[in-house]
Structure 1
Amino acid sequence: MNKEKYIQIRRDLHKIPEIGFKEVKTQAYLVNYLQKLPSERIELKIWETGIFLLVKGTKPERIIGYRADMDGLPITEETNYDFKSEHEGYMHACGHDFHMTIALGILTHFVENPVRDSLLFLFQPAEEGPGGAEPMLNSKVAKEWKPDMITALHISPELPVGTIATKPGLLFANTSELFIDLKGKGGHAAYPHMTNDMVVAACSLVTQLQSVVSRNVDPLDSAVITIGKITGGTVQNIIAENARLEGTIRTLSVKSMEKVKERIEALVNGVEVGYNCKATIDYGAMYHQVYNQEHLTTEFMKYVNENTSFTANECTEAMTGEDFGYMVEQIPGFMFWLGVNSDYGLHHAKLQPDESAINVAIQLMTSYLSYKANEVQA
């Protein structure tokens, strides 16, 4: 395998981050690469800004799926790379440039080294939002080429290169965006009694939201409500007529997500009455929990530890959200963490994953998928 080739591909992709369903340059780059592969061994189909690529098996009984996400984030890059993002205000700060590169390395191996079962590679847009996995899975192409199992990876800056981490069962949380808009009555700062101040209402609501988890979620369960952004008002001497809260909800169970939203709605209704205003709630993008199929995950970890030079460790579940949850809800499969040893974490402007992890992942997954795709079904 040409290690430098895939490092260069990663760097090319790193320079052109694009947000969800706008991955036009990214898609074009990938299609250009794929169209140079032997056409008799593959079949390519476009979906929105994503791609389905089928590598045909020699005697296929199953389709084994592998998913790589494509989009970047609205973050201004602060690395010292000489291949920094060329798109101002956007960056591959979650490792999707790694994910796509690894997928290209894996599929290229199988084009050159055929296996029994067919392999379906899904290059998925909009993982960071508004969510591409569910509509991609519901597309006509996916129904025609529905995988019998599916897998994916996500880089982990905290883990050393060569380390794989996952667990059977719940790996990533249920997540939901949260947007609350408040509309009252603005006016002159000298006449507060003639207004309904939405800055005050917003501040009160933020404080109340902090009690939702501590007083409404089972202490043996886990949930998080974070308000990351508040906007309101226009200038210092005008009482704000509008305010907006933006945040996220994360829970380790579907039941807790339902309970948290129920309590948020009750508190917002109370703010409407107490502050004589109108309020609307938008939950934005919602991601289903990633629940790893237990048998496949256990088998994968055993395979890594007994048949490769890498190490698979069992990790704890995380409050991280992942669009891949919709795929493993419908298809048996699993996701795992790939160690990339970075001083800065996911979604950080200085994230610099170790590029040697690309080769680790390609070696690991070509070995594992060869094993799975050559299994003779009973």
Structure 2
Amino acid sequence: MKKRDEKMSLTESELIKIRRQLHQIPEIGMLEFETQAKLIEIIRSMPQTYFEIKKWKTAILVHVHGKQQGYTVGYRTDIDGLPVEEQTGLAYASRHKGRMHACGHDIHMTVALGILSYFAENQPQVNLTFIFQPAEENASGGKQLYESGILGEWMPDEIYAFHDNPELPVGSIGCRQGTLFAGTCEIHAKFIGKSGHAAFPHRANDMVVAGAQFVNQIQTIVSRNVDPIQAGVVTLGHFSAGTIGNVISGKAQIDGTIRALTQKNNVLIQKRVRKIADGVAESFECKLELDLHQGGYYPVENNPQTTAAFIDYMKNTPDVDFIETLPAMTGEDFGFLLSKIPGTMFWLGVESPYSLHSEYFAPKEGAIIKGVNAMIGFLKKRQTVVGNK
């Protein structure tokens, strides 16, 4: 563990123990009651001299009062799990059937607690607001929390967060200027016509054919509407229609996702999906029910100023293995917070042969203390800079 003059109340072995406890109790977004209670217990065990704590639904906000008032740096971690049945075989595997921290939010929480424990012992120059946020995976928890008004006078002037990355070396820090993650939007389309006998197609209105036309036409959006030097994805992963081969289906349900590296392109693709769906419904004289749901899953667009400072620190710190990364088409609701508050998201390498969301995903715990130390160092330097503004 990196030596420093100041104290940190949580040691590396304690952090690993905490991570394993959190790993055993994954909960779905907005239902993280046991997780919230465990986090509160750990936070309350730290010195409280500089702390104020608020709860909102299953979220926790910890405001650390700085020596100077008037500026606040934010740090956010997500706390929810996924509806995945764990298959890692670990001694500390999930105790909640059908639930798993398959996206590594247990690592995210543990790093946040390590950073917080340092500033519990060492008063920061400026205010810090730590956000333990629910429902990143399923319900735009960041958007909900922001729009609730709970941040109030604790609203950060800039904000930081990370996501673990199984493809990067243990403890490495990955980041880039511009977009780190894509913005996403769910597609839910239902075409409703008229079922009938396969032998009498003229007496029915076949929604298999209508749905197939929708699927085919959707493929032209990225190839013919999105600038070729920019990125976009439209994937339709579910098509459900009919019951048996000799009955014409009167309904077709099609579901998918939009991914784009800018909000402008995400909106463009959404408009084209809607126009195509409307056109298919008109041409087949059928009813359309279309839901395009983006919620808070905006592109994670890093702020140029905060990201330049972050990258400069990480590149020039001997104990940090910094890697400049490419953008990814994964989604993250931190994008909504970055659309409201300037800030930076980065990767923390956890080196696993299995991908995020895999039932076998087992991040290497050596990344925890490296992530904690890197962020403590950056936040110490950053608060000195902003405190002198």
Match 1:335 to one of 311, 320, 345: 345
Q: Which moved more, 1:100-109 or 1:325-334?
A: 325-334
Write out aligned runs for 1:145-164 (5 A).
Answer: 145-164=154-173
Matched, 1:67 2:76: yes
> 2:365 maps to which residue?
355
> 2:182 maps to which residue?
173
Amino acid of the structure 2 residue aligned with 1:96: H
Name the SS for the 2:66 alignment partner.
Answer: coil
Name the SS for the 1:39 alignment partner.
Answer: coil
* Structure 1 alignment gaps of length 5 or more: none
Match 2:253 to one of 222, 240, 244: 244
Looking at structure 1, the residues matched to 247 and 34 of structure 2 have their Cα atoms a distance apart, in angstroms, of 44
Give the direction of change, closer, same or farther, for the CA distance of 1:117–1:285 in structure 2 (3 Å limit).
Answer: same
Match 1:321 to one of 317, 331, 337: 331
Deviation at 1:204, TM superposition (A): 2.6
Question: Any idea what the Cα deviations from partners look like across 1:267-318, whole Å, max 9, x if unmatched?
Answer: 1122213333211211223421111111221221221232341122222222
Matched, 1:293 2:341: no
Name the SS for the 2:293 alignment partner.
Answer: coil
> 1:201 maps to which residue?
210
Deviation at 1:77, TM superposition (A): 2.1
The root-mean-square deviation of aligned C-alpha atoms, in Å, is 1.8
Amino acid of the structure 2 residue aligned with 1:222: A
Looking at structure 1, the residues matched to 294 and 80 of structure 2 have their Cα atoms a distance apart, in angstroms, of 15
Q: Which moved more, 1:63-72 or 1:301-310?
A: 301-310
> 1:87 maps to which residue?
96
Matched, 1:261 2:270: yes
Contact 2:194 2:204 in 1 (8 A): yes
Deviation at 1:114, TM superposition (A): 1.8
Looking at structure 2, the residues matched to 265 and 285 of structure 1 have their Cα atoms a distance apart, in angstroms, of 14
Give the direction of change, closer, same or farther, for the CA distance of 1:198–1:75 in structure 2 (3 Å limit).
Answer: farther
Match 1:273 to one of 274, 282, 289: 282
Deviation at 1:51, TM superposition (A): 1.0
Write out aligned runs for 1:10-159 (5 A).
Answer: 10-159=19-168
Match 2:354 to one of 337, 344, 356: 344
Name the SS for the 1:341 alignment partner.
Answer: coil
Contact 1:308 1:364 in 2 (8 A): no
Looking at structure 2, the residues matched to 117 and 70 of structure 1 have their Cα atoms a distance apart, in angstroms, of 25
Deviation at 1:190, TM superposition (A): 4.8
Matched, 1:377 2:377: no
Question: Any idea what the Cα deviations from partners look like across 1:182-204, whole Å, max 9, x if unmatched?
Answer: 21222344544432232332233
Looking at structure 2, the residues matched to 118 and 255 of structure 1 have their Cα atoms a distance apart, in angstroms, of 34
Give the direction of change, closer, same or farther, for the CA distance of 1:255–1:140 in structure 2 (3 Å limit).
Answer: closer
Looking at structure 2, the residues matched to 230 and 13 of structure 1 have their Cα atoms a distance apart, in angstroms, of 37
* Structure 2 alignment gaps of length 5 or more: 1-9
Query: Runs of 4 or more off by more than 6 Å in structure 1?
Result: none
Deviation at 1:118, TM superposition (A): 1.7
How high is the TM-score relative to the length of structure 2? Answer: 0.91
Looking at structure 2, the residues matched to 351 and 283 of structure 1 have their Cα atoms a distance apart, in angstroms, of 30
Looking at structure 1, the residues matched to 318 and 289 of structure 2 have their Cα atoms a distance apart, in angstroms, of 53
Contact 2:125 2:383 in 1 (8 A): yes
Aligned length: 378
Deviation at 1:360, TM superposition (A): 0.8
Give the direction of change, closer, same or farther, for the CA distance of 1:7–1:238 in structure 2 (3 Å limit).
Answer: farther
